[in-house]
């Protein structure tokens, strides 16, 4: 197993290098010269030259890239223009908020998606299956941010049940924290629930038509036992991989969800950084999400092997 993990980490290195080149070239897309903006009105040639030297912009592009990469590898992602904080520290501060949101969203996605998926598979080609499909398709087609706005209108403005915005740390006031997060987590979990439902259904359909399920039925197990202990455990494997793949979608969805519900997390930071032209932060965000995505995939592969005894022997 350690050898397998080591191999997988080695394979990830070229991918990460390519991502870093992409992220580095992002700043070169910027229209205009940032130095001219920094030099102010007079545009004194000496000041401009000084700034170019200071930020090493006189170096050839590959040297600039290597300098930048050297910083990134040692955890120096630059300084936020807006808050003057190191980018990595800023991301570290905001991430726990989004992780709470993501975990709650995942919870909603699972309690909605998995049972409906199982039900649709068991009742394949009946009206239950078709209804489940329509629900899933609607979940995928509703723009998340619009669903969020409509929920605020209905639940907060009309009914006054839940707060429309705000955030409280779960360690300070757990009840208030959960209260403010329920709607955003539901909104974020909704699209994932649809994907999860579809995959659970197809995985279950495949398992339910296999020979050992026929045997389990033939030896007189109750339908519940057949579905839960014989089928679902095997259908779970592809679903777990999917959860890791959905990690990226969760983070991307958090951008708009946090914006709507004004939650001070990773997503809101992304939008704020974009609008204050805090480009070092935007670069840091893209890089961190990509690294996170690669790590999640690795974890999913490991979980896949651990949960599947047939694969364990091969590694």
In the complex, the residues that contact another protein under the rule CB under 8 A are 14-16, 18-19, 22, 26-27, 29-31, 137-138, 140-143, 145-146, 149-150, 152-153, 157, 248-249, 251-253, 255-256, 259-260, 270-271, 274-275, 277, 279, 282-283, 285-286, 289-290, 293-294
Nearest approach in angstroms of CB 171 to another protein is 28
Distance of CA 113 to the CA centre of its chain: 17
Nearest approach in angstroms of CB 293 to another protein is 5
Nearest approach in angstroms of CB 230 to another protein is 27
Q: Which is nearer to another protein, 122 or 256 (CB)?
A: 256
Asked if 49 and 56 count as a contact pair (C-beta separation under 8 A), the reply is: no
Strand partners, 79: 86
Nearest approach in angstroms of CB 309 to another protein is 29
Q: Which is nearer to another protein, 83 or 133 (CB)?
A: 133
Nearest to 255 by CA among 101, 141, 96: 101
Instruction: Extract the tokens encoding 201.
Output: 């259904």
Q: Which is nearer to another protein, 16 or 69 (CB)?
A: 16
User: Radius of gyration (Cα) for the chain, nearest Å?
Assistant: 24
Which residues, in sequence order, are CB contacts of 76 under 8 Å at separation 6+?
86, 88
Instruction: Extract the tokens encoding 31.
Output: 């229209």
Nearest approach in angstroms of CB 245 to another protein is 10
Q: Which is nearer to another protein, 86 or 248 (CB)?
A: 248
CA distances, 125 to each of 17, 209, 222, 228 (Å): 47, 14, 22, 20
Q: How many CA atoms lie within 13 A of 299 on its CB side?
A: 12
Nearest approach in angstroms of CB 131 to another protein is 13
Q: Which is nearer to another protein, 97 or 216 (CB)?
A: 97
Q: Which is nearer to another protein, 150 or 306 (CB)?
A: 150
Residue 94 and residue 109: Cα distance in Å, rounded?
23
């Amino acid at each position: 197993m350690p050898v397998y993990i080591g191999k997988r980490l080695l394979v990830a290195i070229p991918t990460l290098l390519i991502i870093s080149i992409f992220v580095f070239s992002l700043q070169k897309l910027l229209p205009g010269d940032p130095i001219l903006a920094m030099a102010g009105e007079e545009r004194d040639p000496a000041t401009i030259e000084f700034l170019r030297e200071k930020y090493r912009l006189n170096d050839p592009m590959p040297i600039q890239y290597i300098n930048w990469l050297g910083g990134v590898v040692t955890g120096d992602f630059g300084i936020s223009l807006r808050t003057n904080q190191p980018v990595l520290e800023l991301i570290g501060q905001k991430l726990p908020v989004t992780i709470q949101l993501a975990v709650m969203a995942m919870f909603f996605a699972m309690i909605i998606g998995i049972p409906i998926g199982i039900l649709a598979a068991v009742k394949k080609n009946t009206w239950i299956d078709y209804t489940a499909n329509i629900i899933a398709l609607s979940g995928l087609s509703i723009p998340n941010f619009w669903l969020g706005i409509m929920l605020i209108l209905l639940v907060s403005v009309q009914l006054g049940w839940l707060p429309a915005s705000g955030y409280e740390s779960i360690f300070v006031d757990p009840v208030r924290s959960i209260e403010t997060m329920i709607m955003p987590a539901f909104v974020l979990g909704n699209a994932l629930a649809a994907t999860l439902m579809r995959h659970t259904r197809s995985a279950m359909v495949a398992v339910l038509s296999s020979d050992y399920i026929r045997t389990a039925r033939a030896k007189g197990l109750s339908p519940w036992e057949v579905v839960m202990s014989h089928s679902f455990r095997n259908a779970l494997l592809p679903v777990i991989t999917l959860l890791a793949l959905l990690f990226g979608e969760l983070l991307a969805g958090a951008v708009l969800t946090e914006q709507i519900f004004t939650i001070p997390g990773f997503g809101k930071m992304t939008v704020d950084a974009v609008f204050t032209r805090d480009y070092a932060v935007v670069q840091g965000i893209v890089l961190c999400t990509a690294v996170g995505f690669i790590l999640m995939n690795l974890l999913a592969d490991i979980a896949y092997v651990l949960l599947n005894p047939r694969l364990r022997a091969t590694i």
